[in-house]
Structures are given as C-alpha cells and as structure tokens.
Amino acid sequence: MNKDDLDLRVKIAGVELKNPVTTASGTFGSGREFKEFIDLNALGAVTVKGVSSVPWKGNPAPRIAETYGGMLNSVGLQNPGVEEFIKNDIPFLRQYDTKIIVNIAGRTIPEYCDVAEKLSNTDIDLIELNISCPNVKEGGVAFGTDPKMAEEVTREVKRHTKKPLIVKLSPNVTDITNIAKAVIKGGADGLSLINTLIGMRIDINRRKPILANVVGGFSGPAIKPVALRMVYQVAKVVSVPIIGMGGIATGEDAIEFIMAGASGVAVGTANFRNPRATIDVLNGIKEYMIKNKIKSLKEIRGII
Amino acid sequence: MREIKKLIVLENKLISSNIYSMVLQSKGLAKISKPGQFINLYCREGSRLLPRPISICEINKLEDTIKLVYAVVGAGTKEFSNIKVGEKIEALGPLGNGFIIEKDKTKNIIVGGGIGVPPLLELAKNLNGEIEVYLGFRSKSILIEDFKKYGAKVHVATEDGSEGFKGNVLELMKKNNVNGSIIYSCGPKPMLKAVAKWAKKKNIPMQVSLEERMACGIGVCVGCVCKIKDKNQSDWQYKKVCKDGPVFWSDEVIWDE
C-alpha cells in the first residue's frame, strides 16, 4: 500500500473535503501568512478567523500568556468585518483547491444572521457558527452555554443562509451533549468541538493577571484529553459529522480524534509553534494508514 | 518555501548579569536581515510551546552570522542560556519590519534602555552622518564599546549611578540639551513614552521599536497588539507588533497603557 491508494475524503455537512485536515479558527488567519510556509492546496479546508458583521477592535494587550504545554489568549475576535472579508479574503482563498469554512461571530442573534446572510451568496463552502468565544462579554459565550439560546441562534442563522451550517461548541459547560443535541434540533448540519477552555495566569511579581482581560481561552496540547473526551461523548449521541480539535499537533493526535468519532480534524495552536503543523498532521495520518493497512478513514472512525 | 531552520550556535556567553550574547551560523538569514528585525527561537522542551522573539543585535553578511543579545527572564531563555557552542537551535526569521533608515539625516540620535539596546547596535552601523547614542540601564551597561567602534558618541545613564549619569536617560538628554534630526529608540514602554513626548515638543521625528507578548511572531495570532492611530488621526486600530511593526513612528502610537 502506498500514499496513492489511500482514500482520505471526508464529508462534512454535505461538503466533500479531499482530506480531513483543516485549521482551527483564529490560528490561521485566512491562510495568507501560511502561503510562504506550506502549499495551501494540500489542506482539506481552511477555517478562517472569526468574522463579525462590523469591524471589531478586540481586547487590550497583553492578550497572550504561555502555560505548561499550552497558552491563553484573549484576542476578543479582532477582525475587519464581513464586508472586508468578502472583498479581500474569499478571492485570495479561492485561488487554492481547498474548501473554505467561515467562522462567524456576533453579540446578538441579528448580528450573527447579518453575517450569515451576507456570506450566503458568496463562494464559500461552509459556515461555522461561533457560539463559544470566551473572550467576548456579550452574546458569545452565553449562546454556547445555554441549550435554549444555542438552539435559537442556530435556527435563526440557518434561516438566513443557504450555506451548510456547522456549530462550534464550548467546553465550558456541565454536559456538552445537551448543547450538541440542542443545536442539532435547531438545524445544525455538523459540529466543531472544542473551543478553548477558560483559564487564567497571574504575574506574582506584579501581583496582577497576565492577561489584560484577566481570563482567556486555554488551548494547545495540554487540553487534548479534555477535547478528545468531549468528541467521544458527543459522537456517541449525534449522527451529524464532527470536526474534532483541541491540542492536535501530530498525525497520531488526529487519529485519536477520528477513532473517538471525528470526521474532520482541525490544527490550531500548533500552527503558532510550527507553521507546517497542518502538513505534518496530514502526513502523519497517511503514515499511520499505510503502516496499519487502512485504506479509508471510515474503517477507524468512531471505533471506540 | 520558508521554514524553521536548525542553526548552529557559534557563541553563547554571559556578557552581564543575566544577559547573554549568542552568535548563530545563519544559513542565509544574515543576507536578508535588516536592523530592527527579530528572530523566533524555539525551545526544545515541548511544554514551552511558543517561540521567543529575540531582536537581532548584529548582522554579519560576509560570515553569514547573526548575533542576538538576550536576557534570561524565564524558563525559555534559561534553556537558551544553557545551549553549548556547536549545538543547534531552531530559529525562524528575519521577522518584522525593522527601522526605516533615513539616509539624509545629518544628526541621528539613538535612545536605548536595558534589553532594548541590542537592536540599536546594528542600526548604528547602518546610519550616515553624526550618531549620538543615549543608553539607560538599571545598574550595569552593555555594548558600550561596540557602539563606540562604529563611531558613535555614547552617553550612559544608570538608575543607581554605578555608571555614567545617575538618573534616567531622558534626564541626561535634557541636561545635555540634545538636538538632532531624527531619533531611533527601543526600550521599556515608560521610557519610550517619555522620550516620545519630549521629541514631539522638540519637533524631532522619532521611531520606536515596541515589544508585546507574542504567540506566533508571523502575524497570525493577533496577540501582540498596540494602539496605532489611523492616517487621518480620527480613530485608531490595534496593529500587530510582529507584522506591522515592531518599529512605528512615535506620533502614530497611542501611549495610554
């Protein structure tokens, strides 16, 4: 068996990706900064940084703190707004043979709907609804932690767009399967999980939090066991495709998520340590498949 | 394609308390580097995930080497300080934009503070005209002789008075009644802010090299931001220190933090 015999195709919310590897929103921009490091054509999809209806300035600095095996961020979804995104980033990404997943953010349901509607007639493939950013005070996290609100925002966004809809779930809940079931009832065609965990660090010399926002989203290899457990739990109770993420940095990490039930795998914080991380993950998946004589990822998906 | 390179460490020695000078065989990075740019260094210990951005102190295009002068401030830089000559370190660069060198300026003023001093040395080598250098330290100075080598007139201020003028660098500049056609500066934010205010009053254009906590160093994470005024000065945006900077004109910067 060699690389050409492998069938890496996966279907996410009705869209076929040539392989399961995508990027976690906010760790890859719109791919522009990575084109000098990797061939963007190699990726199954690019999931872009969150886009809102109008430009968002984001949170004050410091926005970054390293932690053991991970990091905290409190960027606060700084972005130039959906109109700039449509004008600049969609034409850029369309030069490449990869699917485009647009992560959308909002503070209110009408704001989410406005972004979804504006993207509806553009040449993108999927929308990923971010109802779980821990760094935005209004809306954001509340939508992701209350099943009723999660269902409602999903239903309203779904009504405003023709694009297939993935909902990105927050891990900062007591039972993630309740939220998963709620957004599927609201019409979600797929799920992404997990978003960042909420964490903090304190500078003991200055006697102050390191992040200006006090708390931030915890990501990186350190959170992988939590992410894997949640993908496993959700995959057991839903039938829509899942994009798994949280600490994926190698092919072995990705295989673990696939065995737990993920169809797609997203590389996030690893992009900051290694700009070639997505390619390394893809190559690692292929090597595992060859070594274990796996022709299609269907053979191992959800086997746990 | 660009990539993280494994560079051989040719020198890694303590030059002052907690401050090290590291020379790397640069595999072609020297040829494309400019004063004020920086390099990402990566830790071997995987739990220290993020690169450490270190400014370039000297570029030797002929020998293809780059010198970095860094302070040990945490576990990552501590790890770097233990690397032996002949070993390799992972590095990515050059990153950022560096200083905008104004060749027609006849009197250059360089103002540096603490571990912000190193990138100003390569800058000094590349300036035309007279160079006057003002350097401030808490106690012990670094790189003074190196600046002199390139024909700069060097003035030192230390907070405890153990070397040169006792006080801060701006007090020394005021005392010497400094004047010039441009200021290039790097150092702690309070120093940059104070010098920028003074420069504005004196109507001297000034470039500042800023520092902020970074994750990626390549403009993706949008972590290392500073407030920069829009062109018409009516509003401002968070700009990335790594990609839009680290050097900005001082009158673009909002110094409120």
Q: What does A235-257 look like in DSSP terms, one character per residue?
A: HHH--S-EEEESS--SHHHHHHH
* Rounded percentage of chain A residues whose pLDDT exceeds 70: 97
CB contact under 8 A, A61 and B223: yes
Distance (Å, rounded) from C-alpha A129 to C-alpha A122? 16
E-strand ranges in chain A read 10-12, 15-17, 21-23, 45-47, 64-67, 70-73, 99-104, 126-130, 165-168, 190-193, 197-200, 202-203, 208-209, 215-219, 242-245, 264-267
Q: Which CATH class is domain B107-252?
A: alpha beta
- Provide the ipTM: 0.93
The answer, yes or no, to whether residue A202 has pLDDT greater than 70, is yes
Contact flag A61-B46 (C-beta cutoff 8 Å): no
Helix (H, G, I), strand (E, B) or coil at B110: strand
Write down the pLDDT at residue A155.
Answer: 97
**Rounded to whole angstroms, how far apart are CA atoms A127 and B222?**
22
Distance CA B11, CA A241 (A): 53
Instruction: Write out chain B residues lying below 8 Å of A38, CB-based.
Output: 1
* 8 Å CB contact between A214 and A194: no
| Sequence ranges of the domains in chain B | 5-95, 107-252
Residue matched to tokens 């270190």? B54
Measured between beta carbons, the chain B residues lying within 8 angstroms of A221 are 46, 49
Residue B93 with chain A: CB contacts under 8 Å: none
> Distance, in angstroms, between A219 CA and closest chain B CA?
11
If you write DSSP's letter for every residue of B155-169 in order, what string do you get?
EEEETTSSSSEES-H
The secondary structure of chain A in percent helix, strand, coil, rounded to multiples of 5, reads 35, 20, 40
In angstroms, how far is CA A60 from the centroid of its own chain? 23
User: Residue-wise pLDDT tens for chain B (257 aa)?
Assistant: 899 999 999 999 999 999 999 999 999 999 999 999 999 999 999 999 999 999 999 999 999 999 999 999 999 999 999 999 999 999 999 999 999 998 888 899 999 999 999 999 999 999 988 999 999 999 999 999 999 999 899 999 999 999 999 999 999 999 999 999 999 999 999 999 999 999 999 999 999 999 999 999 999 999 999 999 998 878 999 999 999 999 999 999 999 75
CB contact under 8 A, B238 and A221: no
Question: Smallest CA–CA separation between A9 and chain B, in Å?
Answer: 27
pLDDT of A140 higher than 70? no
B46 vs A: CB within 8 A: yes
What CATH number has the domain spanning B5-95?
2.40.30.10
B222, B226, B243 ranked by CB distance to A75: nearest: B222
Check residue A135 and give its pLDDT.
Answer: 57
Chain B window 223-252: which residues touch A at a Cβ cutoff of 8 Å?
A: 223-226, 237-238, 243
Return the pLDDT at A1: 77
CB contact A140 to B (< 8 Å) = no
Q: Are A217 and A135 in contact (CB under 8 A)?
A: yes
Whole-number pLDDT of residue B160? 95
User: Which of B3, B160, B171 has the alpha carbon at shortest distance from A279?
Assistant: B3
CA neighbor of A271 nearest in space, from A290, A289, A256, A249:
A249
Condensed to tens digits (0 to 9), the pLDDT of residues A80-109 reads: 999 999 999 999 999 999 999 999 999 899
Report the gap between the CA of A66 and the closest CA in chain B (Å).
Answer: 7
A281 to chain B, any CB pair closer than 8 A? The answer is no
Could you tell me the end-to-end alpha-carbon distance of chain B, in angstroms, rounded to an integer? 38
B45 touches chain A (CB under 8 A): no
A219 shares contact with chain B (CB less than 8 Å) = no
Closest Cα partner for B24 from B91, B99, B102? B91
- Host H or E run for residue B40: strand B38-42
Please name which of A152, A149, A90, A98 lies closest in space to residue A118, comparing C-alpha atoms. A90
Instruction: Reply yes or no on whether A113 is catalytic.
Output: no
Domain A3-58+76-199+219-299: CATH superfamily, name plus number: Aldolase class I (3.20.20.70)
Helix, strand and coil in chain B, % to nearest 5: 20, 35, 45
Interface contact B220-A70, CB threshold 8 A: no
Closest CA to B89 of B51, B138, B135, B36: B51
Specify whether the CB–CB gap between B190 and B171 falls below 8 A: no
Residue B214 forms contact with A (CB below 8 Å): yes
Question: How does residue A134 score in pLDDT terms, banded at 50, 70 and 90?
Answer: low
What ranges do the domains of chain A cover? 3-58+76-199+219-299
Chain B interface disruption, residue of A63, A77, A223, A224, most B CBs within 10 A: A63
The number of C-beta contacts closer than 8 angstroms across A and B is 97
Q: How many CB atoms lie within 10 A of CB A113?
A: 20
Q: pLDDT tens across B120-162, in order? A: 999 999 998 899 999 999 999 999 999 999 989 999 999 999 9
* pLDDT given for residue B104 in this prediction: 83
For residue B217, the model assigns a pLDDT of 96
Helix (H) / strand (E) containing A117: helix A109-120
Residue showing tokens 């390099």: B39
- Enter the tokens of residue A55: 């430009």
The answer to whether the Cβ–Cβ distance between B221 and A272 falls below 8 Å is yes
Instruction: Report yes or no: B106 and B81 within 8 Å, Cβ to Cβ.
Output: no
- pLDDT value, residue A20: 98
The residue count of chain B comes to 257
Query: How large is the average pLDDT for residues A141-153?
Result: 89
Q: Do A61 and B218 touch (CB under 8 A)?
A: no
Q: Is the pLDDT of residue A137 over 60?
A: no
**What is the model's pLDDT at position B256?**
76
Among the listed residues A121, A90, A100, the one whose alpha carbon sits nearest the alpha carbon of residue A17: A100
Q: Which of B42, B46, B223 sits opposite A63 (nearest CB)?
A: B223
